[in-house]
Structure 1
Amino acid sequence: MSEIRVPGVLQGFKAFLMRGNVVDLAVAVVIGAAFTGIVNSVVKGVISPVVGALGTKSLDGYSSCLKGPCTGTGADATGVRILWGSVLGATLNFVITAAVVYFLMVLPMSKFLARQEARRKAKHGTRDVSEVTELEVLEEIRDALLAQRSPNRTDA
């Protein structure tokens, strides 16, 4: 009886780690963690003072009372309070993070890659291939199949 060899757990784990998308994901997580400090500084140094000039010093202070008299804070609080300021703060953090990632990483990298591609095309003298729709490809296949049929052959 032949024995089927299953790769070891460590070999499978190594293959998993060596996939390109796993490495890209790890880099994204590390860069995202690094941007957290920048975003928190922007929120603390820019956004919070602007909000403080318009209202309270912190977005966390904004809330609405849903039920009953809302008095006190923390464990001594009564009533049902919706802390919509916290949600707004988290949303601003997300938008600022997305903007920083886009404007400082994605946009410059896209422009760089486009320039590299243009240089490569100019160097090799290649030209863009016109896009062909799926329907056009299917029509070409149909026409080729019809041309291959012999005229004296009948379908049964």
Structure 2
Amino acid sequence: MSMKKEPSVLKGFRTFLMRGNVVDLAVAVVIGTAFTNIVNSVVKGIINPLVGSIGTTNLDNYKTCLSSSCQGSKGIQLLWGSVLGATLSFVITAAVVYFLMVLPMSKYLARQEARRQAREGTHEVIEVTELEVLKEIRDALVAQRGSGPGER
């Protein structure tokens, strides 16, 4: 009587980690983190100074005081500059991802689909043409058989 050996937890964990989905996800997280650093640098180095040309160079300095007096960190302050900076970072990230990754991939996949449909379309034409040729051969054989000496 032999009992089936259960895989060890570590082997199962290793199998889980080596699946393509987990590795792809890990790569995406690492690239996303590096990409976020680039976008943040663009916002701080280019966007903030451009916006700062009409005010301050640091968007974090834009705020509104809701209380009667705001001195330093005292009072009730809305830090809308931080929200604006984060929003700009998001919009830039989304635009770069869309225009450099999503749009080209969509066009590539559309071209692949068009090629696949074209290949399937040519197969159908070939099959129809072959079918027509076979019908002609059959008709010719029937006609030949009918005109031969052993006519029934």
**TM class, shorter-length:** 0.5 to 0.7
Shift, 1:115, TM fit = 1.0
- Which structure's CA Rg is the greater one? 2
Q: What are structure 2's unaligned runs of at least 5 residues?
A: 124-152
Larger deviation, residues 52-61 vs 14-23: 14-23
CA shift digits 1:122-141 (9 cap, x unpaired): 234379xxxxxxxxxxxxxx
Extract structure 1 runs of 4+ deviating beyond 4 A. Answer: 1-5
Which residue identity does 2:26 align to in structure 1?
A
Which residue identity does 2:74 align to in structure 1?
T
In structure 1, what is the equivalent of residue 39 of structure 2?
39
Shift, 1:107, TM fit = 0.9
Q: What are structure 1's unaligned runs of at least 5 residues?
A: 128-156
Larger deviation, residues 5-14 vs 47-56: 5-14
In 1, Cα distance between the equivalents of 2:7 and 2:122?
44
Shift, 1:29, TM fit = 0.9
In 1, Cα distance between the equivalents of 2:51 and 2:65?
21
1:7-156 paired onto structure 2 within 5 Å:
7-72=7-72, 77-125=73-121
CA shift digits 1:92-137 (9 cap, x unpaired): 111211111111111111111221222233234379xxxxxxxxxx
The number of equivalent residue pairs is 123
In 2, Cα distance between the equivalents of 1:71 and 1:4?
73
Which residue identity does 1:26 align to in structure 2?
A
Aligned-pair Cα RMSD in Å: 2.4
Shift, 1:11, TM fit = 1.6
Query: Where is the strand percentage greater, Structure 1 or Structure 2?
Result: 1
CA shift digits 1:48-104 (9 cap, x unpaired): 1221122221110111223342112xxxx3222221211211121112111111111
In 1, Cα distance between the equivalents of 2:14 and 2:121?
41
Query: Where is the helix percentage greater, Structure 1 or Structure 2?
Result: 2
Which residue identity does 2:39 align to in structure 1?
V
In 2, Cα distance between the equivalents of 1:68 and 1:95?
34
Residues 21, 59 of structure 1: CA spacing in aligned structure 2 closer, same or farther, 3 A cutoff?
Answer: same
- TM-score (ref. length: structure 2): 0.68
In 2, Cα distance between the equivalents of 1:68 and 1:12?
62
In 1, Cα distance between the equivalents of 2:110 and 2:46?
34
- TM-score (ref. length: structure 1): 0.66
